[in-house]
Amino acid sequence: MKLELRGITKRFGDFTANDRIDLVVEPGTVHALLGENGAGKSTLMNVLFGLYDADEGEVLLDDEPVVFDGPGDAMAAGIGMVHQHFMLVHPFTVAENVMLGHEDVRGPAKLLDVEAARAKVREISERFNFNVDPDAVIEDLPVGAQQRVEIIKALSRDASLLILDEPTAVLTPQETDELLGIVKDLRDAGTAVVLITHKLREVQAVADTITVIRRGKVVGTAEPTASQEELASLMVGRAVTMRVDKEPAKPGETMLEVDGLTVVDAAGIVQLDDVSFEVKAGEILAIAGVQGNGQTELTEALLGVVPTDAGNATLDGEVITGRTIKEVLHSGIGFVPEDRTEDGIVASMTIANNLILDVHDKAPYAKGGALQPKVIADEARKHVEQFDVRATGIDQTTGSLSGGNQQKVVLARELSRPLKLLIASNPTRGLDVGSIEFVHKRIVAERDSGAAVIIVSAELDEVVALADRIAVMYHGRIVGIVPPDTDRDTLGLMMAGAHDEEEAA
Amino acid sequence: MSADSQTTEDRPDEGAPPEDRWRRALREIVESSSMVVFMAIVASMIIGGVLIIFADEAVRESAAYFFSRPGDTFSAIGDALGSAYSSMFNGAVLNLEASSFAGVIKPLTQTLTMATPLIFAGLGLGIGFRAGLFNIGAQGQLLMGATFGAYIGFAFSLPAGLHLLLAVIGCAVGGALWGFIPGILKAKRGAHEVIVTIMLNYVALYLVAWLLSLDAFQREGSDNPISPFVAETAQYPKILGVQFNLHLGFLLALACAWGAWWLMERSTLGFRLRAVGANPSAARTAGMNIGTATIITMVIAGGLAGLAGSAPVLGTQKFLTDAVAGTLGFDAITVALLGRSRPLGIVLAAILFGGLQASGPSLQVNAGLPVDIVVVIQALIVLFIAAPPLVRAMFRLPAPAHEKEVAA
Amino acid sequence: MTATVADAPAAPVSGAPIPPKKWGAAIALGVIALLSLIFFGFGTPAGSTTRFVIARKTDFIQLPSLTVPSELAAILLSLVGLALAGWVAYRANQRRKVGIWLPIVYGMAIMGALLTWAGAGREATSIQLTGLLTSSLFLAVPLVFGALAGTLCERSGIINIAIEGQLLAGAFLAALIGSMAGNAYAGLIAAPVAGALVGLLLAIFATKYWVNQIVVGVVLNMLVVGLTGFFFSTLMSDDPSLNQPIGLEKLPIPLLSKIPVLGPVLFNQNLLVYILYVAVAVLQIMLFKSRWGLRVRAVGEHPKAADTVGIQVNRTRIRNTVLGGAVAGLGGAFFTVASGLAFGKEMTAGKGYIALAAMILGRWSPRGALAAALLFGFADALRVQLGAIGSPIPSQFLAMTPYLATIFAVAGLVGHARPPASEGIPYKK
Amino acid sequence: ASAPEEETSSSATADTGAPAETVDFKACMVSDSGGFDDQSFNQSGYEGLTRAESELGIEIASAESSTEADFGPNIEAQVAAGCDLIITVGFLLSQATVDAALANPDVHFAIIDDLADNDFDGEIDAPNIKPITFETDEASFLAGYAASSVTGGTISTFGGMNIPSVTIFMDGYLAGANYYNDTNSADVKVLGWDGTDGQFTGDFSDQAKGKNVTETFLDQGADIVMPVAGPVGLGAAAAVESAGDAWLIGVDSDWTLTTDYADIIFTSVLKNIGNSVFDTISETIDAGFSTEPYVGTLENEGVGVADFAEGTVSDAVLTELDTIKAGIIDGSISVDLS
Ligand SMILES: Nc1ncnc2c1ncn2[C@@H]1O[C@H](COP(=O)(O)OP(=O)(O)OP(=O)(O)O)[C@@H](O)[C@H]1O
Ligand SMILES: Nc1ncnc2c1ncn2[C@@H]1O[C@H](COP(=O)(O)OP(=O)(O)OP(=O)(O)O)[C@@H](O)[C@H]1O
Ligand SMILES: [Mg+2]
Ligand SMILES: [Mg+2]
């Protein structure tokens, strides 16, 4: 199916998110849409999908103008979409989510044919090596698995135009490769694909055409042969370094010492099994592993979000396990959570307020139980500028920022107080290349100022680029700690559970 | 969706000549929320008018011979509506028929008096809503507050000032205690606050009924379930002289409104409560204790509802019965939501409700309307005020640039 | 018990995703059983007896009544309660849950102890078991319909505080139409129409004008109270033939109604009660097993997700709210035609709010709503039974029974209940 | 319908046929929160008021109170509207009535079911209030006695709330049954009231609960029930009717006339509020206002029992009842619970 967008304009209040955008997607091609955070990519796709009404402009399918009253119309016309913010019903199972909207039913009461839905999920899941249990409930799944469910949902409908809005943000490298393979297969079968991603490697791998959007306008197109540096500078409007420049670490005293930490969950499953390691001041320990192998529990146990069943952790000689979250934070830990909308920001509060969420009762933001609005505003302006948060002002609600800018708010908050230890889960998820460059610089600077840093990342590139040492987790245990120059195959093997080089680095 | 398209229609095109100043001023007036409130009252007057006409006997009688003398019907309709609306105004705002100045402004003071308990309770509920708690229990909290305050007021004899202070504190403590129960049950046991607070309303009612069956709570020489009078030393002084019912409680309510504003907007505690209300898991990750916030919120909300109980027992009625709460606790829910859980909004909404309530006697006695019609008209006014988009659509007013949603 | 508490891990932050061993239920059950032992067991005068009457005098099979030695029975029943609390503690230590049978058996034991104590030494009166159960069901009927209505609306994301108004409107129209037609069944058909109209208003204001749903609900309640009150004191009092006490007759189901105890309770009822059984069963299945139910729940949880798969969010919400209103309206018929009563002002007496609580207690499911309503009905029936035979508890405290029982149920047994995630939030594009 | 003559006076004319010439007098009434449809004292009082309107040709106005906060404002509004006599209903309005009376010495007040003596010094607290009260237990004593004479052994009663204006009915009823047991060495049981506490539905509106309570009494073997709970009593009536072999005792007014349940009404305990209101108004017009308290008793027929259902009470008992009534009137029989 051929898609054409003509002069699409979409405004939110006074803000123009899409400004007269023209776009043509030919059948049997992959069209990559690039742009920095908040450029208007998702908005454009939501207009196309019938979720938003365009203020101006028209959509043509196979050269016929169409008007979608809602996504139902778009789907009926053969458009499928993987949404950046998961459109999954949390208390439902995977199968229920996948069948929602086009359920197989039996009998006059239209009772659900759950077996058929399960079979469909299993079939797609097996075809693409997704390893998704059709009966798992969404809210129990890690975000990576949720992402796979979203993709299964879109694929289960045989669309002739498929929109993928950052489908790989939380996938493992292997899964990403599988998905890109699928995209190619679909393209070869004649499907038109729109791919939005911040990972230029993926663009180079599959895109046939590339359109770059900046601040709501189309600023140019690029050939798939263009280098990552070229694409990046087109997107961001300046030159971007794609590598992390950092001095070798100068590790100091041991800052964090974890000894035999064990976490058993309510169902009696051991999530963290006798984990011991240490991080020195001035070094970055990256934790690698396939998602769901205890990384989340490790960071949450250190913060005190989940109770520990055995073992302890000391920060700079002080025991931090068994303390309240507040005490842990105030002992000098910065925490960037894995799920930013759930745990990182309060969407309905302003940027300024989100920037003081965990320090709101500390000087200089508060004095004797009273907030200091002027200080808060001044600091907020400073942070917004420093971290390049794209917003109309510090009083904008955080929920109306684009996802990347929300992440910058979280980082700005956590990195702007003196830290002994920074724990960051997927700190650059969903960020554009320019922002990633910036965040990586900040993390390295944090290390160089003498803090210990723990990075949990699903992104092997990021792990290798940032880490001074890499700890690999598998089934709740640390299977090995290796130097950053360990080759990827070895890392891959360790992540798959092969024991190796115990305590090497 | 209709609001969407109106927004765009209304937007001055880029490059179009700047809007002329008068038109802009006019547009701002038309878009303003006070215009919407005004039109909402007009709309409910119109619909309520239909009912008034239906309820009016003279109209029905004259309608029976409408075709032989239609003029009668129209004049009867005019009379009915005229007397209803003027009664309403005379009862709630200014009594233009009164001979003295005091008589003229009396309705206004009555409106403020009636608004007093609603301000207190509405503030408490508003704080709860913003902290993510749906407290239906203002009724019970109010009753317990009234009970504690009244008991201190009639059972002790203390110097003026101190006695009032203690009685007022007693009201707050009684309500706070009744708020603490659902707070702690939610924090420790996950018990849904809506259920617990609804149930505690009934428990409070029967508890007070039982207390009032005891000699300690009854007037000497009587078996009626009425408490003795609260001592003069514990009564709110009248602030505009004895001919008006308006008492110090009103000023205290305004002070609480300012306090609630400060708490929620300017204090670290309020910040925590708001964060917990808006996203508990993010708040927890930022080191806030959800359980503690829940308990604190319910205690504050209960305390304010308890203070609402001081308005009748220390201000207007001056003794305790088990019906002292009337429907205040439920009205306060609407007041809080209508005021968008913000103190200023709550004060204004409470005054609107106070006015509606104050107009009731006049509507019944002077306009001869049955009390049920009064209730219906009041409900319509609230409904229209709560629905600005509907009112705009009815009167073809443009939507403002930023449509604010009505949400807690 | 204290020793086991001590080795429990540090108290988790409230709402922690991974809670440790839970002792709350065991402690609560233990304390209650202990109180029961002290008050009912040792508080019963020695040598007295309690008479339990199992069959009503109208029942087909007349089971003999049962007379037990009060003190012994109350002590034994309390000990059963204590033993069950111990079992819960044992299971909690293993982080295991107990089956649903436990609270039921426990409740029966403690209730038995209470009844034995209350009925001790009263020759003129007896504990009427069948009567108690019949009353429970009777008092639960409007609550079940109200809670079903609430469930239907809230599952689609609309908070229905207007249940009270829907019940009242249903009661009113049932009486009016039933009286005009001279046929109670006509009233039964009219009732849902009234409720649906109230539901429609709620739906329109909530979805089209984005008015806060709780405000609309409360205001609709006021509106219905005002309107029905107005027509009651004008229309109906001018012409009493418009408000007659006419009733649905009982339709005993052959054979089933002859089963001892349960037969007369469950199967000698009027049509409305049979509709209730069907409604609970059908809605339970439809809500959780059908396409319609899946879509409704999706709309209530995550309307945008539902929208992205082509489900019409606001249309679904309006439809469900109207349907919910109709169900509550039908329940309103209970107050008039189904009980053989004429309409009276505000005769629903706050049942709509209790139904709301039953909906939450029942965790937004039809089956749960039924159970919660029956619990409430039973507690209410219990207080009536105790009031009738006379008891040393002041009547005001007896009157608290249903409400306290509900608080114990949510705090002790049910714990955290999660509403549909998007309820109360208007869906705007 | 034809148009009335142009000159008809604007005030509503009586349609009872009574040739009431218009009197320049305005009588007003404020209800308590039960409202004028309460099937109880507000309603009876209001009937007296409307009867005065049609028979005496006076002007009337009324105001229902939704909550206690309305009491004062309602009275004040009636004062402002120029009412000559304001009648308030129920002890809850006592203080508001006294306050208004003191503030408006030239307006006349009457209060039903209260002595207007809030300081309990035995004096009316304002010089312009007439208290109207009823010795209802005298009448319910007779009802209790008569019920005991026809029952199979158990009679019952319940109230809306445990408050004196309700329990006075139950006291007399219980005392009457006790008196029957004493004089006839019988053993009639009274369920629902023991002189201090008993069965209460908790409100005055939930008819279904009234039905349920009554069914519970019937299960316990009671065959007569006296509900003292306003409209809730209609629920009791429905239960009695469907049981078929039981009787109901109405309260306040004659329930064979005011309800649809004439067939099952054993008798009614009458409390003639309507008459007392009418009499107070007409006396005030004819002879001027007096603060002389009105106390309705068996003697002045302010209270009484309606006719018993045919074929229930034996002639012998009817004779005994006459004797008892005389005894109560002359003080030789006490209706107090001993
Ligand atoms: N519903 C909305 N209301 C107001 N502003 C919005 C809304 N949706 C998006 N925006 C704003 O529009 C701009 C474009 O957002 P959009 O989500 O399209 O960006 P994006 O290109 O997808 O960015 P990212 O790479 O972060 O996903 C952002 O500045 C965002 O804040
Ligand atoms: N109605 C709304 N009001 C306010 N904010 C909204 C609204 N709808 C969406 N948003 C916010 O606007 C942003 C844009 O939404 P969208 O789904 O397009 O994400 P995005 O901008 O693509 O995110 P990312 O930056 O991660 O790519 C999101 O952060 C979303 O939370
Ligand atoms: Mg996006
Ligand atoms: Mg006196």
Measured at the CA of A234, the angle between CA A228 and CA A240, to 5 degrees, comes to 55
CA-based nearest residue in chain C for residue D38:
C345
Interface membership of A215 toward B (CB under 8 Å): no
Residue B362 lies in a domain: yes
Distance CA C100, CA C104 (A): 7
Shortest distance between the Cα of C281 and any Cα of chain A, in A, equals 13
C-alpha B95, offset from chain centre: 22
Interface membership of D77 toward B (CB under 8 Å): yes
B161: left (phi over 0), alpha (psi -120 to 50) or beta: left
Residue B275 with chain A: CB contacts under 8 Å: 346, 349, 353, 357
Q: Which of B349, B315, C221, B254 is nearest to D69 (CA)?
A: B315
The phi and psi torsions of A212 (rounded to 5 degrees) equal -115, 130
Distance CA B7, CA A13 (A): 8
pLDDT tens, residue order, chain C (429 aa): 333 333 333 333 333 334 456 777 788 889 989 999 998 888 888 888 888 888 777 777 777 788 888 889 999 999 999 999 999 888 888 777 777 788 888 888 988 898 898 888 887 788 888 889 999 999 999 999 999 999 999 999 999 999 999 999 999 999 999 999 999 999 999 999 999 999 999 999 999 988 889 889 989 999 999 999 989 988 888 888 999 988 898 899 998 888 888 888 899 899 999 999 999 999 999 999 999 999 999 999 999 999 999 999 999 999 999 999 999 999 999 999 999 999 998 999 989 999 998 999 899 999 999 999 999 999 999 989 998 888 888 999 988 988 998 898 888 766 677 889 998 889 987
Distance CA A216, CA A32 (A): 16
SS3 state of residue A452: strand
Q: Ligand 4 centroid vs D115 CA: distance in angstroms?
A: 9
Q: Which of D259, D267, D284, D270 is nearest to D26 (CA)?
A: D284
Residue B71 lies in a domain: no
Ligand 2 neighbours (beta carbon < 6 A): A 37, 42-43, 84-85, 399-404, 406, 430
Write down the H helix ranges in A292-401.
Answer: 295-303, 325-330, 351-354, 373-386
Distance CA A330, CA A326 (A): 6
- Cβ distance B4 to A324 less than 8 Å, yes or no, reads no
- Higher-pLDDT residue of A293 and B228 is B228
| pTM of the complete model | 0.88
Distance CA C333, CA A340 (A): 50
Q: Does the C-beta of A41 come closer than 6 Å to ligand 1? A: yes
Q: Pick from B4, B187, B198: which is nearest to C353 by CB?
A: B198
Measured at the CA of A105, the angle between CA A104 and CA A109, to 5 degrees, comes to 160
Q: Which fold has domain A254-495?
A: Rossmann fold (3.40.50)
Low-confidence ranges of chain A (pLDDT < 70): 267, 498-505
Write C119-123 long-range contacts (CB < 8 A, 24+): C119/C50, C119/C51, C119/C52, C119/C70, C119/C389, C120/C44, C120/C45, C120/C48, C120/C49, C120/C50, C120/C70, C120/C71, C120/C74, C121/C45, C121/C48, C121/C49, C121/C50, C121/C70, C122/C50, C122/C51, C122/C389, C122/C390
Q: Lowest-confidence range among A478-487, B1-10, B272-281?
A: B1-10
Domain tally, chain B: 1
Residue B8 is predicted with a pLDDT of: 35
Of A23, A33, A34, A42, which is best to mutate to test ligand 1, by the most ligand atoms within 8 angstroms of its C-beta?
Answer: A42
Which residues form the domain of B168? 93-368
Q: Which residues contact B68 (CB under 8 A, 6 or more apart)?
A: D2, D3
CA-based nearest residue in chain B for residue D202:
B206
Element (H, E) at A19: strand A15-25
Contact between residue B337 and residue B272 where contact means Cβ atoms under 8 Å apart: no
D225: amino acid identity, one letter: V
Residue C17 is predicted with a pLDDT of: 39
Contact between residue A423 and residue A334 where contact means Cβ atoms under 8 Å apart: yes
Which residues of C78-175 form beta strands (DSSP E)? 127-128
ipTM: 0.86
Residue B39 lies in a domain: no
Residue B31 is predicted with a pLDDT of: 60
In this structure, the strands spanning D303-305 and D265-271 are antiparallel
Shortest distance between the Cα of C300 and any Cα of chain A, in A, equals 9
DSSP letter, residue D40: S
DSSP letter, residue A146: H
Q: How far apart are the first and last CA of chain B?
A: 22
Which residues of D85-124 form beta strands (DSSP E)? 85-89, 108-112
pLDDT mean across residues, chain D: 90
Question: pLDDT, tens digit, for every residue of C119-155?
Answer: 888 877 888 888 899 999 999 999 999 999 999 999 9
Of A41, A83, A85, A409, which is best to mutate to test ligand 2, by the most ligand atoms within 8 angstroms of its C-beta?
Answer: A85
Of A163, A400, A401, which is best to mutate to test ligand 1, by the most ligand atoms within 8 angstroms of its C-beta?
Answer: A400
C-alpha A468, offset from chain centre: 23
Residue C401 is predicted with a pLDDT of: 87
Question: pLDDT, tens digit, for every residue of A180-214?
Answer: 988 998 899 899 999 999 888 889 999 999 999 98
Cβ atoms within 10 Å of A377's Cβ, excluding its own: 15
Q: Ligand 2 centroid vs A337 CA: distance in angstroms?
A: 19
Distance CA A298, CA A281 (A): 19
Distance CA A56, CA B221 (A): 81
Interface membership of C353 toward B (CB under 8 Å): yes
Hey, whose CA ends up nearest to atom 24 of ligand 1?
Answer: A37
Q: Ligand 2 centroid vs A400 CA: distance in angstroms?
A: 6
- What residue ranges of chain A are covered by domains with CATH 3.40.50.300? 3-236, 254-495
Contact between residue C225 and residue C172 where contact means Cβ atoms under 8 Å apart: no
Cβ atoms within 10 Å of A102's Cβ, excluding its own: 13
DSSP letter, residue A151: H
- What residue ranges of chain C are covered by domains with CATH 1.10.3470.10? 131-413
CATH class, A3-236 region: alpha beta
Q: Does the C-beta of A434 come closer than 6 Å to ligand 1? A: no
Residue B225 with chain D: CB contacts under 8 Å: 163
- Cβ distance C390 to D191 less than 8 Å, yes or no, reads yes
Contact between residue D216 and residue C388 where contact means Cβ atoms under 8 Å apart: yes
The phi and psi torsions of A357 (rounded to 5 degrees) equal -50, -45
In this structure, the strands spanning D189-191 and D129-134 are unpaired
Hey, whose CA ends up nearest to atom 29 of ligand 1?
Answer: A38
Contact between residue C407 and residue B194 where contact means Cβ atoms under 8 Å apart: no
Q: Which residues surround ligand 3, an ion (CB under 5 A)?
A: A 42, 84
C345: amino acid identity, one letter: K
Residue B221 with chain D: CB contacts under 8 Å: 120
Q: Which of C305, B81, D55 is nearest to A99 (CA)?
A: C305
Residue B405 lies in a domain: no
The residues facing A474 across adjacent strands are: A477
CA-based nearest residue in chain A for residue C292:
A110
Cβ atoms within 10 Å of B345's Cβ, excluding its own: 19
What is the C-alpha radius of gyration for chain D, rounded to an integer number of angstroms? 21
Position D88 confidence tier, pLDDT thresholds 50, 70, 90: very high
Q: Which residues surround ligand 4, an ion (CB under 5 A)?
A: D 117, 119, 121, 123, 125
The phi and psi torsions of C401 (rounded to 5 degrees) equal -45, -55
Q: Which of A342, A282, D241 is nearest to C339 (CA)?
A: D241
Interface membership of D160 toward C (CB under 8 Å): no
Hey, whose CA ends up nearest to atom 22 of ligand 1?
Answer: A42
Interface membership of C261 toward B (CB under 8 Å): no
> Which token pair is A432?
């554009």
Q: Which residues contact C1 (CB under 8 A, 6 or more apart)?
A: C26, C27, C30, C89
Contact between residue A379 and residue A390 where contact means Cβ atoms under 8 Å apart: no
> What number of C-beta contacts closer than 8 Å exist between C and D?
124
User: Which class for D3: exposed (0-12), middle (13-18), buried (19 or more C-beta within 10 A)?
Assistant: middle
> Which token pair is B108?
């206004």
What is the C-alpha radius of gyration for chain C, rounded to an integer number of angstroms? 24
Residue B105 lies in a domain: yes
DSSP letter, residue A17: E
Average pLDDT, integer, range B221-245: 90
Distance CA B180, CA B185 (A): 8
- Higher-pLDDT residue of A415 and B44 is A415
Residue A13 with chain B: CB contacts under 8 Å: 7, 401-402
Q: Which fold has domain C131-413?
A: ABC transporter involved in vitamin B12 uptake, BtuC (1.10.3470)
Contact between residue B2 and residue B394 where contact means Cβ atoms under 8 Å apart: no
CA distances to B88, B349, C38, D79 from B108, in Å:
12, 15, 59, 18
The alpha carbon dihedral of B60, B64, B70, B71 has a sign of negative
Any idea what the CATH number is for the domain that residue B354 is in? Answer: 1.10.3470
Interface membership of D162 toward C (CB under 8 Å): yes
